[in-house]
Each structure stands twice: as structure tokens, then as C-alpha cells.
Amino acid sequence: MTTPTFGRLTDPPATVLLIGARLIDPGAGTDAVRDLGIVDGVLTTAGAVPPGAERIEARGWVVAPGFCDLHTHLRQPGGEEAETVASGTRAAAHGGFTTVCAMPNTEPPLDTPARVTAVLAAATDAAARVRVIAAATARRAGMTSSDVTALLDVGAIGVSDDGASVADPDVVRELLHALGPDHPLIEHAEDASLVAGGVMRAGATAARLGLRGWPPEAEVRIVERDVALARATGGWVHVTHLSTAAALDVVRRARADGVRVTCDVTPHHLALADDWIGGERTFAWEDPDGEPKLPGAAYDGTCRVNPPLTTREDARALLAAVADGTIDAIATDHAPHQQHRKLVPFADAAPGLIGLETALSLGLAAVAAGRLPLATLLDALSTRPARLLGEQRGLTDGTAADLVAFDPSASWVVEREALASASWNTPLLGRKLPGVVRLTVANGRVTYRS
Amino acid sequence: MISVPVVAASERRHVVDVEGWSRGEIERMLDRAEEMRAARASRLYRSLLEAETVGLAFFETSTRTRISFELAAKALGATVVDLQASSSSLSKGESLVDTLRTLERTGVTILVMRHASSGAPDLAVRSTGLRIVNGGDGTHAHPTQALLDALTLRERFGALDGRLIAIVGDVAHSRVARSNIHALQALGARVRVAGPEPWIAGFESWPGVETATTLADGIRDADAVMTLRVQLERDAAASIGSLDAYVDAWRLDEARMARWAAPDAPVLHPGPTNEGVELTADLANGPRSLIGRQVENGVPTRMAILATVAGAV
């Protein structure tokens, strides 16, 4: 294995021949082993690659369309000690992502066209395409809606007050009218009045640990409200980081009724569970090991996240809903934080964990456990989220190369030195995970290679 | 036969909780506490911990637990430093971890800590090289209280196998209750928790624990009744209506004990009591009361724990 290198979207387009890879294109429904050529950044048959071009031995690797993350915190502006557009997009490239959607809860928030434009400008030479989700309300204060038309005009793909719900239903209605059917209100579904200081999912583990419980009704209530408003307005609600089986049922019923509601789930709500806060470290689809935990294992601030890690039962329901297609996408909610914001008592820890670089590996662990077909995982990471943004994904000859190549049988250890993110707040630190990304190509440019 | 890794008592460098402790480990700790009671009188172990510096960091106020630890450490010859947590650098904005690391650098080897946040001792274990003894964290654990309660009950009953111990009051917010459940179950006792519904919320799913929402159901046939402090300082009664309503329905008195509990069932309380709220003064000071004995058992139990984490046993 060579030392990892990163590229930029402004680099010259690639010309390379990948030999013997397994090509999975979920959009086209194809899965075949063959050679894949890239000439000047465009996919082509092997025969069209010039004889002198680089040849990469790719037998055993999987090649899939580039991943698309609907929920990324790049922390720029205002949180550059934790992450920047540059470091966050390198983390994306390392994780196989070619597109990330930057969340607007920066400091100041992305609530004006100028601030949206500034992030887009900072990303022109990044290691992944950056799309911007603008703030839904001025200063993210929830009181008055942003100037949606102006924000969409400069390229925002939708709006969100992520970190909180839009509390006022009149503001939600107004936003849905202004956004129309083609741009989503991306909702962090959490009724603050029901949460009332809860820091982990309510239930047996919270009772045992003596931590205040976060009731699932907090999520359900906002999803129900937003579904009703989407139905009434014809607008599009996208529920991000869905975490409860009960809210999932609301979404499922609404979609059956033809309401425009889509949703994503994070890798950590699929693979981790609330008992990780007690020191458990088995995946959600496994049985807990049931062994006493050593002092120091529990209450790790890196397990604090909003919405909180879910129960094993709900995590399994969410994974089943990815498998059956109810959930549109796996989105990371990559949330970098400096260590001093995590090295505090659990309830005081800043919520969120990094996810771009471990998303594929957690998904592959679920695939290895027989819980998810590989093509479905790749569809939920690439083609389906990209389609929500109007981006094309595929491995068709003649289109721009936008892909990830990974070795599913190799593994890596999550450690600070192995991460491209400027932060390392993840409870997976020190853990060996399956799946190593070998090559990421975004818009014809090599953005990551190892 | 599945082999389960067991942490031997002599290897235990920290006491964060008694969750996961085997019956044997708890029994050995109680035996050691008995030994310490005798050793304290004979001053046999007066130099046992002379190489240790025990720091007392009570970030939440305490009188009896702090004094009990101080006397225990001094009885074993340790140097004792009392961090005046409320007036320390913590109130000047220094983080908890920085404060603990500073204590470590100044030479503290064993830190007894109490903190208002559940899990703070785990953080201390993770982020310092100190040996940590939990003097109570948030609503999570109070292992030394559970061990001295177990010692008190063992003195009374001999073995606890099959004994029904009722824990009454604001269980949901009680670290004493949680640690007692772990210790008592490990010792073979049945545990029932009882209180107004909001005060036992979440415990229905606790493995092996019975729940009750009336005092009669709560203490019926109980071999011992442990009543918990109503935390008036955080307006605990607001969640259940009023303090008067609690007193009417839940206050322990001799008549209620005589009517429902097992004959001669003793009464315990972790202190400090709100006399007339959790129980009547007559009951607290009468023949059923083991409250004084609990206090007496505090120092030898904590001597045993300090000696254990010091590796001096």
C-alpha cells in the first residue's frame, strides 16, 4: 500500500486503466467484473486507453459511483479548529465521497446569499464537490424564514436549521411554499419541549446509567407535523438523521399516501446503539456481549450525539428500512469537534461524531453480517442521495468519471493518524474496520489514492 | 463451560461502581471491612497507606461521606488533601480534566471524587493516571454507600439469599438505589423499588427488579426497607405533585412497617434524613433503625476500598 495522496477538483483530469475490478452500478442494476478505462476524466472502454497510460491492478476491488453525503458539517466559517472545507473534503475523498452537502450551522450561520457564496468559493479547489444547504431561518433563530429565493439563486440546494427543528409551524408552512416541490426543507426532527434536557435515548440503558432520557416522541412529533404540512402545501420535507422506528413508520405511511417526504439515516444510528454509552462495543445487529465493563469504558463523550444513539431494536428496524428502500440515503452527519469539547462529563459533551471516513466501513460490516446487500448499500451512499440533488451517478462509458474503488477484503484501524479530518471524535477510534478505499475520482479528477 | 473474565479484587485499581462485581468479590470486600474495623481499633494498619496521597475532590457538597473517607485514609496512614472544590480553579473556568491532571501532578495518587454529572469518574479514569474511588456521581452510582449498606444488612441477616429488600422513594434520581440494586442482587437478595410512578420510571425493565407504586405494595413482606432521601434542594417533589402528598402516601412510620413489612424488618436510610418526610423521627431513632449502624460502617468499608485500590491487601 502506498502513502495516501489527495487531489483537488482543479487538478488535471485523470487517464488510467483499472484492471479486473468488480463494477457495481446500482442505478443501472449492473454488477460485473471487467476492465474500466478513464481517459481525460471520462469513462471509456479499456481499448480506448492509450498504451502508455497507468494501469492499476484492481482485482478484488469494488468500483462504485462516487458517494454523496447529504449531511456534512464542514465548520467553516467559525469552527476552523475542528474542520475546514479543505480538511473536511479530504475526509470525504478518503471515505469515497465525491459530493458533500455543507450544513449551515456555522458561525455565523449560512443564512444569506453572500455567506452561501463564500463557502462555495472556498470549495472550488477542494477534494470533493461541496453543495450548500442554507439556513432555514435568519440567524437559525427559528423566528423568520430566510430569503429562500435568493439563497436558491446562488446555488443552495435546500434549507435547514439543523441542530434544531424549525419550531414554528407557520414558518415551516411558509418555507415549504417558498421552496416548492424541487428543493427540500431538511428537518432535524426534535421537539425541544419533549427532550427537556435528555442526553441519551430513554430506556433501560439510560435508567441504568443515570442519564436523562431523550424520548422518541420528540422525533415522532416533528415528523408527524412536517408530513401534515408537506401534504397540505405540496412541498418537500427531507427528514435527516432519522433515528426511531416510530418516526420511520410515519414516513413510510406518508410516502404510501404520496406525500413528498424523503429521509436519511446515519451510519452510527445503523451500526451503533445506546448501550455504547455504557461501554458496549458490539454492532447493533449483534447481541451485546453482556460482560462487565471496565472502569473508564462508559460515558465516552464521543458517543454523545443528537439524535442520540438508538436502541438495538430501532437500529435493526432502520437497517431493514435501508434494505427495503424506505430510507432514501445513508448520510453521515459528519460533526467534527475539538477534543476539549468531548473530554468532559457525558452530559456536557458537544453532540456529534465524525463519519465521512467510516461510513463505508460500517456499511460493509453490515453487509458482512448479512444485513444488507452490497448493491443496496452502495445505492444508499451514492446513486439515491445524488438523485435527490439532481446529480448523475453511474459507470456508463462516455460520462465523467465519478467513482470510488475500494478493497472490501482489506481492513484498516481507525486512528488519529489515519484520518484526514481535522478532528477525531469517534467512538470507533482504535477499532479495526473492513473496507479500504483505494481510489476516489470526482468529476474526472483523482481526489484520493492509497 | 463459558469462561467469563473476572477482575480479581486485588487487581481493582478503581472503584467506580459495584456493577459487574461478582458475589465473591463483594463478600471479600465486606470481609475486609470487618477486618478494617478491628484494625482501626488496634491501629494495626496505621502505616498501610503511608506511601499514598489521597485527594478528596467533592465537586458536589458532602459532609458525612467526605469525613468518612478522610478518617478512613488517615486511619491507614495516608496523606490526605481536601480539594476545596467549590473554591478551586474549577470555579475559575478550568475544566474538570485539567483540574484532575493538576492534582495528579502535585502528587495525589488516589482520588476520591464526587460529581454532579453521571459518569464523571469514568472520565477521570480515562483521562488521568489517578486511581479513582467514586464518592457518588450524578444519578449513577455510589458504590461505597452500597457496600456499607450490604455490610449492615449482612450483619443483620447473615446471608442475604432470598431476602426481599425494598428501596423506597425517588429511585429514578438516586445513585444510592442503583448501586444497591447491583450489590444486593449480586449477594442473592430480591430487590423491589417503590415510589410514585415518575420516581421509578425506567426501572420496569431493570433485570430482576420488582416495582411498586404504592407503599403497601412496595414494602409488603419486605425483610428490610431502605428509604431514600427526598432531594428537597432540587425541588424533587414538583414532579409528583407536592411534598405533602408524598408524606401522606409514602412516609414510613412504625404502624405502616408493622402492618406491611416482615416482622422486625429493619429500616435503612443513606442520610442525611429529612425527618418527618421519608420517615418519622420515632422510626429513625427506634429499634428498627439501622441508620446509626450504616454510619458506623462507613469508615471501615472505605478503609477496605482505599486499601484495595492501593493494592495493599
Report pLDDT digits (tens) over A201-212: 999 999 999 999
Residues A235 and A327: their CA atoms lie apart, in Å, by 19
pLDDT at A303 over 90: yes
Reported as a single tens digit per residue, the pLDDT across A314-350 is 999 999 999 999 999 999 999 999 999 999 999 999 9
pLDDT at A293 over 70: yes
C-beta atoms of A203 and B201 within 8 A: no
* pLDDT score at B9: 47
Chain B hits for A208, Cβ within 8 Å: 19, 178, 206
C-beta atoms of A210 and B178 within 8 A: yes
Chain A hits for B117, Cβ within 8 Å: 345-348
Average pLDDT, chain B: 93
To the query of whether residue A348 is one of the catalytic residues in this protein, the response is no
Between B97, B126, B139, which is nearest A296 by CB? B126
Q: Which residue type, as a one-letter code, is found at position A175?
A: L
pLDDT at B224 over 80: yes
C-beta atoms of B117 and A300 within 8 A: no
| Alpha-carbon torsion (B282, B287, B289, B294), positive or negative | positive
A-B contacts (CB, under 8 Å): 93
- Parallel/antiparallel/unpaired status of strands A5-6 and A445-449: antiparallel
Pull the grid cell for residue A313: 431494536
Which residue does chain B place closest to A206, by CA atoms? B202
Which residue does chain B place closest to A348, by CA atoms? B117
Please report, rounded to a whole number, the percentage of residues in chain A having pLDDT higher than 70: 100
3-state class of A15 per DSSP? Answer: coil
* pLDDT score at B76: 98
Which residue does chain B place closest to A302, by CA atoms? B123
Peptide bond into A108 cis (omega under 30): yes
C-beta atoms of A207 and B203 within 8 A: yes
C-beta atoms of B125 and A295 within 8 A: yes
Longest dimension (CA), chain B: 57
Between A207, A291, A295, which is nearest B122 by CB? A295
C-beta atoms of B19 and A297 within 8 A: no
Beta strands of chain B (E only): which ranges? 53-58, 79-83, 110-115, 131-137, 164-168, 190-194, 209-212, 224-227, 267-268
Chain A interface includes B203 (CB < 8 A): yes
Lowest model confidence (mean pLDDT) among A44-48, A63-67, A77-81, B293-297: A44-48
Predicted confidence band at B6 (pLDDT cuts at 50, 70, 90)? very low
Mean pLDDT of all residues in A422-429 = 98
Beta-carbon contacts of A314 under 8 Å, excluding residues fewer than 6 positions away, are A216, A243, A244, A245
pLDDT at B82 over 80: yes
Query: Which one of A339, A341, A346 makes the best mutation probe of the B interface by having the most chain B beta carbons within 10 Å?
Result: A346
Q: What is the pTM of this model?
A: 0.95
Residue A72: name the closest of A436, A331, A281 by CA.
A331
Between A207, A213, A292, which is nearest B20 by CB? A292
Give the ipTM: 0.93
Chain A hits for B20, Cβ within 8 Å: 291-293
Chain A hits for B97, Cβ within 8 Å: 343-344
Chain A interface includes B131 (CB < 8 A): no
Please report, rounded to a whole number, the percentage of residues in chain A having pLDDT higher than 90: 98
Chain A hits for B201, Cβ within 8 Å: 207
Chain A interface includes B2 (CB < 8 A): no
pLDDT at B5 over 80: no
Q: Are B82 and B109 in contact (CB under 8 A)?
A: no
C-beta atoms of B125 and A296 within 8 A: yes
Average pLDDT, chain A: 97
* pLDDT score at B236: 75
Reported as a single tens digit per residue, the pLDDT across A87-97 is 999 999 999 99
Reported as a single tens digit per residue, the pLDDT across A228-273 is 999 999 999 999 999 999 999 999 999 999 999 999 999 999 999 9
Q: Are A434 and A420 in contact (CB under 8 A)?
A: no
Which residue does chain A place closest to B131, by CA atoms? A295
For B213, other C-beta atoms within 10 Å of its C-beta total: 13
Choose between B211 and B11: higher pLDDT. B211
Chain A contacts in chain B segment 220-249 (CB below 8 A): none
Predicted confidence band at B1 (pLDDT cuts at 50, 70, 90)? very low
Q: How far is B216 from chain A (nearest CA, A)?
A: 24
* pLDDT score at B233: 76
Per the residue annotation, which of A162, A264, A314, A333 is the catalytic one? A333
Residues A7 and A127: their CA atoms lie apart, in Å, by 6
Query: Which one of A289, A294, A339, A348 makes the best mutation probe of the B interface by having the most chain B beta carbons within 10 Å?
Result: A294
The owner of cell 481499633 is B41
pLDDT at B3 over 90: no
Pull the grid cell for residue B40: 482501626
C-beta atoms of B202 and A207 within 8 A: yes
Which residue does chain B place closest to A209, by CA atoms? B140
Between A204, A209, A299, which is nearest B205 by CB? A204
C-beta atoms of A345 and B121 within 8 A: no
Residue B168: name the closest of B252, B235, B272 by CA.
B252
Interface of A to B at Cβ within 8 Å reads 202-204, 206-211, 213, 291-301, 340, 343-348
Chain B hits for A203, Cβ within 8 Å: 202, 205
Predicted confidence band at B96 (pLDDT cuts at 50, 70, 90)? very high
* pLDDT score at A139: 96
Chain A contacts in chain B segment 141-180 (CB below 8 A): 141, 172, 175, 178
Predicted confidence band at B2 (pLDDT cuts at 50, 70, 90)? very low
* pLDDT score at B86: 59
Lowest model confidence (mean pLDDT) among B48-52, B82-86, B139-143: B82-86
Which residue does chain B place closest to A292, by CA atoms? B20
Reported as a single tens digit per residue, the pLDDT across B43-66 is 999 999 999 999 999 999 888 999
* pLDDT score at B89: 56
pLDDT at B101 over 50: yes
Predicted confidence band at B240 (pLDDT cuts at 50, 70, 90)? confident
Which residue does chain B place closest to A296, by CA atoms? B122
Taking CA atoms, A164 is separated from A142, A307, A332, in Å, by 9, 10, 17
pLDDT at B246 over 60: yes
* pLDDT score at B92: 63
pLDDT at A138 over 50: yes
* pLDDT score at B278: 95
Residue A223: name the closest of A180, A194, A182 by CA.
A194
